[in-house]
Amino acid sequence: MRLRLRNLLNLFVVVVLLSSCGGFEKIRKSSDVNYKLTKANEYFEKKDYTHANELYKELMPIMKSTRNYEAIFFKYAYTFYNLKDYLDGSYYFKSFTETFPASKDAEECEFMSAVCLFKYAPKASLDQTNSVKALEAMQSYVNKYPASKRINDANGYINQSRKKLESKQANAALLYYNIAQYRAASTAYKSVMHNYPESPESDLYQFMIMKSMYKFATQSIPEKQEERFSNAISAYRELKDTYAQSKYIPEADKLFTLADENIKKIRNELHK
C-alpha cells in the first residue's frame, strides 16, 4: 500500500513537472509577442527569473523599436542579477545606461552595474582585477551622482573594495616576510602604507617595516649591518612618534634594544 502511494506521488510530481515544462515551451514557441511579454512579466513578478530571462532574451530584438523596449531591457538586466550572473548583469545594466541615458532608471542601472562588479569580484586571496574595476565603477557613480539616495551604499561598497585590495597587498607583504625575504617585505609594507594611509592597520604595517628591517640586518654581511640596524631604529622611531599607543610598541621596544646593542657591538669591534 505504501509502495503504491509512493509510486502515485512520484507519478504526480513527474506529471506536474512535465506540465510546467510543456506550458513554458508553449509560451516560448508562441508567435503572439504581447502574450509572451505578459507571461515574461508574470514570471518576473513571481521571481521565476530563469523563465523570465529566457523570454526577455527572445523579446529583446523583437521589441527593440517599441515603447516596451526600455522596460524589458531594465527587467532583463535584473534577471541576470537575481540569477547571480553578475558579469552579464553588469554588462546589461551598463548597456541600459548607454541605450537610455535620459531614463529615470539610468542612475539605478549605473549603480547596479557597479554592484554586480563588486559581487563578481573574488575573495582577497585571489586576483583582484575585478575589485579594481568595481571600485572604479562605484567611484565614477559617486562622482556622477553625489546627491543620490544610494550614496551611502555606494561609499560602503567603495570602502569594502578598498579593504579587499588592501588585504591583498598586505597579505603579499606578509608572504615576503614569512619566506624570509625581509628587504622585499619592508618595501611591500611601505607600499601598503602609501596606498592606504588612513588604514586602521597602519601601526601594524609600520611595525612590520621595522621588524623586517631588523631581520634583514641580522642576515646581512658585517659591512652592511650597522647601516641596516640603523634603518630599523629609524623605522622604530617613526612608529613611536606616530603611533605612541600602538599595541605593537612593547615588541618594537625589544627589537630596538637588540638593534641598538648590535650597533654598539659592531662599533666596539671596529675600535679594537
Give the separation between CA 272 and CA 192, rounded to whole angstroms. Answer: 43
Single pTM value for the model? 0.76
- Average per-residue pLDDT for the chain: 90
Give the separation between CA 45 and CA 232, rounded to whole angstroms. Answer: 64
Give residue-wise pLDDT tens across range 18-45.
445 558 888 887 878 889 999 999 999 9
Q: Residue 12: inside a domain, yes or no? A: no
The CATH number of whichever domain residue 209 belongs to comes to 1.25.40.10
Q: Residue 269: inside a domain, yes or no? A: yes
Q: Residue 9: inside a domain, yes or no? A: no
Cβ atoms of residues 229 and 262 within 8 Å = yes
Q: Residue 11: inside a domain, yes or no? A: no
Give the separation between CA 59 and CA 90, rounded to whole angstroms. Answer: 20
With b for 16 or more beta-carbon neighbours within 10 A and e for fewer, the 93-119 pattern comes to bbebbeebeebebbbbbbbbbbbbbbb
Return the SS3 of 145: coil
Number of folded domains that form the chain: 1
Give the separation between CA 79 and CA 55, rounded to whole angstroms. Answer: 11
Name the residue range of residue 210's domain.
182-272
Q: Residue 171: inside a domain, yes or no? A: no
Q: What's the Cα-to-Cα distance from 151 to each of 12, 44, 62, 85, rounded to whole Å?
A: 51, 27, 36, 24
Nearest to 182 by CA among 207, 206, 217: 217
Give the orientation angle of helix 2-29 with respect to helix 49-62, to 10 degrees: 20
Q: Residue 195: inside a domain, yes or no? A: yes
Give mean pLDDT, residues 87-96.
Answer: 97
Give residue-wise pLDDT tens across range 220-266.
998 899 999 999 999 999 999 999 999 999 999 999 999 999 999 98
